[in-house]
Amino acid sequence: MQDQRTWETQYHLIMALGMTGSQGDAEILKELALQPRKATAVNAALGDAIVRLDRETDNDPRPALWCLQQDVELLDDGALRAVAMLQLNLPEDAVDQILDYTETRFDEKYLPYWPTVAAAGWSGPRVRAFLTRGSQDSRQIIAAAANDALNGRYGNYVSVL
């Protein structure tokens, strides 16, 4: 993991593990996520795989919220990507935590993208306000995702890394 030259291989291996691994693999991935590295794209794969593998139920928000609580660059992006791609129907308190997290970082280049995509499956006035704000964003990718989500569509997933 420390060889920076192999970051792409590491990224793809972690993503493959996220698709084929088991819940027991999540603890190893969490340990890896907390190790510093220069190739931060690997952290996005770790966040994605942790969310996929560490859920106890289909819509378990715990792994995603764990990733958001860590101070690890791009771990949050990977976790939020998995939430969106899996179309998780999270409990309202978890949605609030994700929106709190996202709203304090809304100006980061692409961080709002995946929560905006995920919000297509969420409801409530706070979600609607979040999506309305996003629909008026100057970043086309955010505005398009918000407009899709306002219409209950997940839209076309686009990798923004």
* CATH superfamily label, 4-150: Leucine-rich Repeat Variant (1.25.10.10)
Q: How far apart are CA 151 and CA 137, in angstroms?
A: 17
Q: Residue 157: is its pLDDT beyond 90?
A: no
Residue 126 vs residues 16, 27, 77, 81, 101: alpha-carbon distances, Å: 35, 33, 21, 20, 13
CB atoms within 10 A of CB 127: 21
Q: Where are the alpha helices (DSSP H) in 2-159?
A: 7-20, 25-33, 41-53, 62-69, 75-85, 92-103, 113-118, 125-135, 140-150
Could you tell me the residue ranges of all domains in the chain? 4-150
Taking only the tens place, the pLDDT of each residue in 86-118 is: 999 999 999 999 999 999 999 888 889 999 999
- Match 């030259």 to its residue by tokens: 5
Q: Give the DSSP H/E element, type plus range, for residue 73.
A: none
pLDDT band at 159 (very low <50, low <70, confident <90, very high): low
Question: Would you say the C-alpha torsion 81, 82, 85, 86 has a positive or negative sign?
Answer: negative
51-81 per-position pLDDT tens digit: 999 999 999 999 999 999 999 999 999 999 9
pTM exceeds 0.85 for this model:
yes
* % of the chain residues with pLDDT over 70: 94
